[in-house]
Amino acid sequence: MKKLINSVDNVVSEALLGMEAAHPDRLRIDHANRVVLRKDGPVSGKVGLVSGGGSGHEPMHGGFVGMGMLDAACAGEVFTSPVPDQIMAATHAVDGGAGVLHIVKNYTGDVMNFEMAAEMAAAERGIRVEAVVVDDDVAVTDSLYTAGRRGVGTTVLLEKIVGAAAEAGRDLDALTEIATRISGQGRSMGLALTSCTVPAAGKPTFELADDEMELGIGIHGEPGRERLPMASAAQAAQMLVEPVLADLDFTGSPVICFVNGMGGTPLLEQYLMYGEIAKVLQAEGVTVARSLVGSYITSLEMAGLSLTLLKADEDMLTLWDAPVNTPGLRWGC
């Protein structure tokens, strides 16, 4: 294992020190609880948005903290859920008096710990907490880490859109409603060409032969649908689009198309794949209104790609375009 780290035990805490050093104008970090916070928070009268999960998926979630997106992100160990105390600390820290929304990816540990933290925050401080659980991965139902579908790329789009809605002053009920709707209208599918290596494990999570790829991979290297011979970009695009369209009708409404690199796949290939995916979508009658290409929800250095489609409405598109100022997504400010 070759990684630019000091010790496998301190990867997350030292990366948070680096984030703080790099973004002193935008972020502050509660190091004791490993919570990344918006520098100017809590914003009085605004609903606080809290997300989090295992580390190793950067920029998600810490990189999405800031004006127009999250108020706090809880960083678990690599590929490990944050604990309830972290989430409770984050919930307290972002409470601006208008309640708190938890944005949770559907992994058993995450769901359980966010729920527990919500109960504690309500009991201790009387904070009203709602939650949305994202479960958009069409690859598999139930997996190593999940009952039901896994939560993946839709989370990024949801955090941007709901973040803008919170910034615009919508209340907790309205935010819970739009978040739930987004979660229901987003679908994802991924594939991997290589494994990644979790620092504490010291060796690749799985092995793939030089001529193999894995379709339907999870963001922790969880097994997917099947191992296949390495495909061309055109074939791979088809394999990603088809199960997504088979699961939900994406015609008749504008769509946000998000092509995501898993960490080790160069942007050159991501763009090439975007082109192939766009061709398939056009042939299927899907209208792409906005797009996002880049490595935003990653699995350390895993080579691979995921596709997320979100069925949007005009309100969601307006919120997508609204200003955002985070280390990972930034425009309009």
Binding site for its own copies (CB under 8 A): 2-7, 11-12, 14-23, 55-56, 58-59, 63, 78, 193-194, 210-211, 213, 230, 232-234, 236, 259, 263-276, 278, 291, 293, 295, 298, 300-301, 303, 305, 325, 327, 330-333
CB of 190 to its own copies, least distance (A): 12
The answer to whether 31 is a known catalytic residue is no
| Minimum CB distance to its own copies smaller for 39 or for 128 | 39
CB of 236 to its own copies, least distance (A): 6
| Minimum CB distance to its own copies smaller for 100 or for 302 | 302
Helix 108-125 to helix 84-94 angle (10° resolution) is 50
193 contact partners, CB below 8 Å, separation of at least 6: 208, 213, 230, 264, 265, 303, 304
The answer to whether 220 is a known catalytic residue is yes
CB of 31 to its own copies, least distance (A): 12
Amino acid (1-letter code) at residue 78? V
Which residue in the list 23, 61, 92, 220 is annotated as catalytic? 220
Which residue in the list 23, 57, 61, 102 is annotated as catalytic? 57
The length of the chain in residues reads: 333
| Minimum CB distance to its own copies smaller for 33 or for 265 | 265
Phi, psi dihedrals of residue 234, rounded to the nearest 5°: -65, -45
CB of 166 to its own copies, least distance (A): 20
The torsion of the CA quartet 323, 50, 148, 183, rounded to 10 degrees, works out to: -30
Order of strands, sheet of 35-38, starting from the edge strand that comes earlier in the sequence: 27-30, 35-38, 72-78, 48-55, 100-105, 129-134
Closest CA to 67 of 43, 91, 102, 103: 43
| Minimum CB distance to its own copies smaller for 133 or for 277 | 277
Which residue numbers are catalytic? 57, 220
